[in-house]
Amino acid sequence: MSENDALAEEYAANFAAAVYARDMQNRDALSQFAAELRAQGVRVGGLVQEVLRNEEGRSTGIDIVEIDTGRRIAINRPTKETLDSHSCSLNTSALTESTEALRRAIRENMDLIVLEKFGEQEQKGQGLSDEIFMAIAEEIPLLIAVPEFALDLWQERSGEMGQTLSYDVDAFRQWWATARQR
């Protein structure tokens, strides 16, 4: 490693975007990674999403799950009307309620915050944006899921300082091996 590479590594921001494609079917990598680290005794906080499905495999909604407590918050329950009109069925009150999990993770200075949420609200600077950038400012390692189409916006908002990872547990492990030492 060159002196410049070592210097860049020393001052690298301690967060990473886990980039996924919109049509990606299996998005369990963040949940798996968080569970793996928790089993090793790492204090992990934050939120992951779980798509709920009916017997036919169709999506019936989305829950946000608090990583540290397991508490579930229903953030999306589409109705026939919202499905027919292709309109958003996000429960913004539930999204607001979920901010407490991130604030708690920051307050308790968790070893890592995992967040599966850089969605439409965060892309507009709303939703969980304040908590995301509060975690970064507090220098708590953050691993955040970012949709591929929003990567440029994420990089602009984060000052292009964090790393960009493929949405893969092995990539998360490699990043964490470095991040936990900072």
pLDDT digits (tens, 9 = 90+) for 131-143: 999 999 999 999 9
Whole-number percent of the chain with pLDDT over 70: 87
Residue 99: pLDDT above 80?
yes
Question: Is 26's pLDDT higher than 90?
Answer: no
**Angle at CA 117, nearest 5°, toward 114 and 122?**
130
Q: In this structure, what token pair is assigned to residue 49?
A: 């999403």
Question: What does the block give as tokens for 153?
Answer: 């916006």
Half-sphere exposure for 169 (CA within 13 Å, toward CB): 11
Which domains, from first to last, does the chain contain?
13-48+64-75+95-179 (3.40.50)
For 71-85, what is each residue's pLDDT tens digit? 999 988 876 666 555
Work out the pLDDT band at 88, boundaries 50, 70, 90: low
pLDDT band at 51 (very low <50, low <70, confident <90, very high): confident
- Please compute Rg for the chain using Cα positions: 17
